[in-house]
Amino acid sequence: MSLPLYARSRALPMTVAVLAAAWPTTAWLADWIVAHSDLGPRARLPLVVLAPVLASAAIGASLYTHSEELDRTAVRPWWPRRACQLLLLTAVAAGLLTAAVPGDPELYGAPAMVRNLLGAVGVTALAATFIGARLSWLPMLVHTSAVYLGAQTGPEDPGPVWAWSVQPGPQPAAWWTTAVLFAAGTCLYALRGARPEGPGSRR
């Protein structure tokens, strides 16, 4: 399968367009939240938590394939293309979302945004492998909702490892957690692909 055909079969142009639209939207919301709150950069926590989840959902949608039979019978291995797809989309999303929240790296700025994106993409890729690309957004949304509603964190309270998405700044434990999640999700998706969906699907 040629690269243009591969890109169209995974709806990559639409995914890139969605990620590109996320940058001005996130930047505007970040400025508006800070301007209308007395919490300063800390007010951006909801945005730093939710924007990566939405970006990872868009990336997860591109992991669905309409050509399961073709994938299984292809002569060339698929894992390089799958890995490149996931890495490139993550890099695009990281660059755009980072530009939307400049400054204040110790609180809820660019480092936290990138960290949360890596973790969200990792969880989404793992979910696509086990439950399918169409529902790959669900585990990350459930996790984020539970963590955001239940965790209390601050600069001197890093919180538990499972609450990595709400931790401020470059917390080492949070970064290690998201690095493991991203590496595991990327490797597993690259090797296995998304779980087949629909009638007659099989592993």
**Model confidence over 37-53: pLDDT tens digits?**
776 667 778 888 999 99
Q: Check residue 34 and give its pLDDT.
A: 73
Is the pLDDT reported for residue 203 higher than 60?
A: no
- Say if CB 190 and CB 79 are below 8 A apart: yes
**Residues in a beta bridge with 157:** 154
- Percentage of the chain exceeding pLDDT 90: 41
| Average pLDDT for 61-74 | 68
On whether the pTM is more than 0.85, the answer is yes
Instruction: Please say if the pLDDT value at position 174 is more than 70.
Output: yes
Residue 156 has what pLDDT? 47
Separation CA 44–CA 46 (nearest Å): 6
| CA-based nearest residue to 100, from 140, 170, 43, 47 | 47
Backbone angles phi, psi at 119, to 5 degrees: -65, -40
Query: Quick one: tokens of 77?
Result: 């291995």
Q: For residue 155, name the pLDDT band (cuts at 50, 70, 90).
A: very low
